[in-house]
Amino acid sequence: MNIVLIGMRGSGKTTVGKILAQKLGREFIGMDELITQKAGLTIPEMVARYGWSKFRDIEEEVASEVAERDNIVNATSGGVVTREKNVTKLKKMGILVWLNAGIDTLLERIGEDSERPPLVSGRTQREDMELTLNERMPLYQKAADLAIDTEDKTPEEVAEAIIKSLKKICCLIGDPIEHSLSPLIHNAGYQALGINYLYVPFQVKDIKRVIEGIRGLNIRGASITMPHKANVMEYLDEIDEVAKKIGAVNTIVNNNGVLRGYNTDCDGALKALEEVTALAGKKAVLIGAGGVGSAIALGLKRGGAKLVILNRTEEKAKRLAEMFDAEDSGGLKKLAEISSADILINATSVGMWSKTNQSLVPKKLLHNRLTVFDTVYNPKETKLLTEARERGCAIVYGYRMFLYQAAVQFELFTGHQAPLVAMESALTQALEGEKHATHFDRR
């Protein structure tokens, strides 16, 4: 996990970056230096010979290379934000921190620099800086996860301000994560309460390295999603009893370097289900034996349901049934169990984006005595839920579970009661908007 400093020349990226790297025990990387090494020319020589466009091309190459590094403090070149693909790559494993300052401060810091060529010939240094700052300001604002005002601060004070801000950062860890709405609803909650927290996504393959980053940077907390809910457990200091029983963690809280794992899926699923139906004495068919399935199985048994677990891999269903003392288990050939069930739950990924035209359950098995719960929340209306409604079933939207599990995470991270109205509003608006988006349109 990286700290990526963005901002204009004179904002202090290099000086602050070196202080940060020393304090956090990380390697310092200066992109301008790497660019000149790659080109074999100074920046003035490069621009004089090839122009700014060539400089930007080399800058893009260096940004791609640096984005693959880990546990670094990266002082970027000032114009790195002018190409959106640079920002996308740097954000993949980096927290982007914008060091902001006014034009007079920037000019005072850089002094008279007669060697650095202006972006447009014929401008004075002030004209060039003013126009460039005005052009880039919206790009810095859009790219930044954190913004630090460096006016009237020493580099040491700026570094300390960044470290302090890291303690209120929470993140999403998974692969893939590009369609997750977790950042949207957590940040909506922070904004509603006016608290200075931030939630950012990281697409992660190596879970061990990112846990080291969370510990080293003192990141406040993390939501864990596919495929890391089980394998993250070995890297944590403490695990809540519910998470231990489920065998999966979806939440990490960092208390002064002690990382404790929780599972909020169980509470989220139960609350969503119990809004629509009671559980005690009901026959529930659960499809899926992964981390979410385990959480729901625990909740159903605690609620007094009679549980049947089905899974594509029959052996996994059997193991989960033994763990939670389910009444029966089997492969998908036993889907006929739904005909006599009161509750049906899909705890697989079938029905989510890229699989929206799919359902594991034949429509003919659905009946009007059945409550159907699909844990897929994006899209809101899955094929299973659409067909269940058509067959007269009561339905439970996956977004309800998603909302309630996120609310528990919110409270663990911040100590504040989650503002459910604000979080739900942000979530439902996004889901309604995504009904009209293609698979490639969503951000």
pLDDT score of 111:
84
CATH H-level, domain 2-163: superfamily: P-loop containing nucleotide triphosphate hydrolases (3.40.50.300)
pLDDT score of 8:
96
Q: CA torsion angle for 325, 328, 331, 333 (degrees, to 10)?
A: -170
The domain locations on the chain are: 2-163, 167-263+412-434, 267-396
pLDDT score of 440:
25
**Cis omega (within 30 of 0) for bond into 201:** no
Q: Hey, which residues does 174 pair with through a beta bridge? A: 203
Q: How far out from the chain centre does Cα 106 lie? A: 34
**If residue 212 lies in a helix (H) or strand (E), which one and from where to where?**
helix 207-217
Contacts 24+ apart (CB under 8 A), 199-202: 199/169, 199/170, 199/171, 199/172, 200/91, 200/95, 200/145, 200/169, 200/170, 200/171, 200/172, 201/171, 201/172, 201/177, 202/1, 202/92, 202/93, 202/171, 202/172, 202/173, 202/177
Interior angle at CA 410, CA 407 and CA 411, nearest 5: 90
CATH 3.40.50.720 assigned to 267-396 = yes
Best CA proximity match to 321, nearest among 343, 306, 303, 342: 306
**If residue 308 lies in a helix (H) or strand (E), which one and from where to where?**
strand 306-310
Tokens for 195, please give them. Answer: 């608290």
User: Considering the domain 167-263+412-434, what is its CATH architecture?
Assistant: 3-Layer(aba) Sandwich (3.40)
Q: CA torsion angle for 20, 24, 27, 33 (degrees, to 10)?
A: -10
Query: CA-to-CA distance for 212 and 222, rounded, in angstroms?
Result: 12
Query: CA-to-CA distance for 133 and 6, rounded, in angstroms?
Result: 13
Q: What is the pLDDT along the chain (443 residues), one digit of tens a residue?
A: 999 999 999 999 999 999 999 999 999 999 999 999 999 999 999 999 999 999 999 999 999 999 999 999 999 999 999 999 999 999 989 999 999 999 999 999 988 665 667 777 778 889 989 999 999 999 999 999 999 999 999 999 999 999 999 999 999 999 988 888 999 999 999 999 999 999 999 998 999 999 999 999 999 999 999 899 999 999 999 999 999 999 999 999 999 999 999 999 999 999 999 999 999 999 999 999 998 999 999 999 999 999 999 999 999 999 999 999 999 999 999 999 999 999 999 999 998 877 788 999 999 999 999 999 999 998 899 999 999 999 999 999 999 999 999 999 999 999 999 999 999 999 999 998 765 332 222 22
The owner of tokens 């049947």 is 308
Query: CA-to-CA distance for 250 and 230, rounded, in angstroms?
Result: 9
Query: CA-to-CA distance for 417 and 189, rounded, in angstroms?
Result: 10
Helix (H, G, I), strand (E, B) or coil at 180: coil
Give the residue numbers annotated as catalytic, written as ranges: 229
Side chain identity, residue 119: L
Query: CA-to-CA distance for 113 and 94, rounded, in angstroms?
Result: 31
Tokens for 139, please give them. Answer: 């790009």
Q: Are strands 146-149 and 169-174 parallel, antiparallel or unpaired?
A: unpaired
